[in-house]
Chain A
Amino acid sequence: GAGVSQSPSNKVTEKGKDVELRCDPISGHTALYWYRQSLGQGLEFLIYFQGNSAPDKSGLPSDRFSAERTGGSVSTLTIQRTQQEDSAVYLCASSRDGRQYFGPGTRLTVT
């Protein structure tokens, strides 16, 4: 079946602009996660949605970062007033039984 998809695959933006990253989880998965991965580094947890519960935003690095999950499915990660240190690969994952399945990621470059 279809896996987790993310769009765009690559995004280049100027410092100070806002960006939106999209994640389409696996159908039926109740949990959705966003991670950030800098070059050669591990995965940094950002935010976690589980069903209709309030999201766990404990990993968001600043108030410039926000995320929504509409209708329990598609999620959008928004970064406002982007900074060069926001450059990274943003990964989305979904799960139903604890095993997380990842999308291919969006590579964000802030110039």
Chain B
Amino acid sequence: GESVGLHLPTLSVQEGDNSIINCAYSNSASDYFIWYKQESGKGPQFIIDIRSNMDKRQGQRVTVLLNKTVKHLSLQIAATQPGDSAVYFCAENFPRNTDKLIFGTGTRLQVFP
């Protein structure tokens, strides 16, 4: 069935560099997207969300970009820090008019000093 997926299972970056984590979704009717961060042994933690009426949303050191034309979502982390090392999941709200989320398989971000 339709699903959310990720291009890269593992991303390694040097401390201080910017990170970009990508996600492709296939439910064109989805109108709400979320990025979660999951550290080892913990539950997923909300990072940032975006609705389909926006192309970009910024938080503290993070930016989410939404390209509805190609059904692509990305998470940008500025000045990546060791504490950013975790698995990152994108999720889409589907079906609409519910609170259900479909999660991608996750990308592991490794930050090297």
A residues bordering B, Cβ < 8 Å? 4, 31, 33, 35, 41-43, 45, 48, 50, 56, 91, 93, 95, 98-105
Contacts and interface: CB of A to CB of B under 8 A. Distances in A.
Nearest to A30: B99
Interface string B12-55: 00000000000000000000101010000111111001000000
Interface of B: 32, 34, 36, 41-46, 49, 89, 93, 98-106
B43 A31 contact: no
20 contacts: A33-B100, A35-B103, A42-B105, A43-B89, A45-B101, A45-B102, A45-B103, A48-B98, A48-B99, A56-B98, A98-B99, A99-B49, A100-B46, A100-B101, A102-B36, A102-B43, A102-B44, A102-B45, A104-B41, A105-B43
Contacts, number: 51
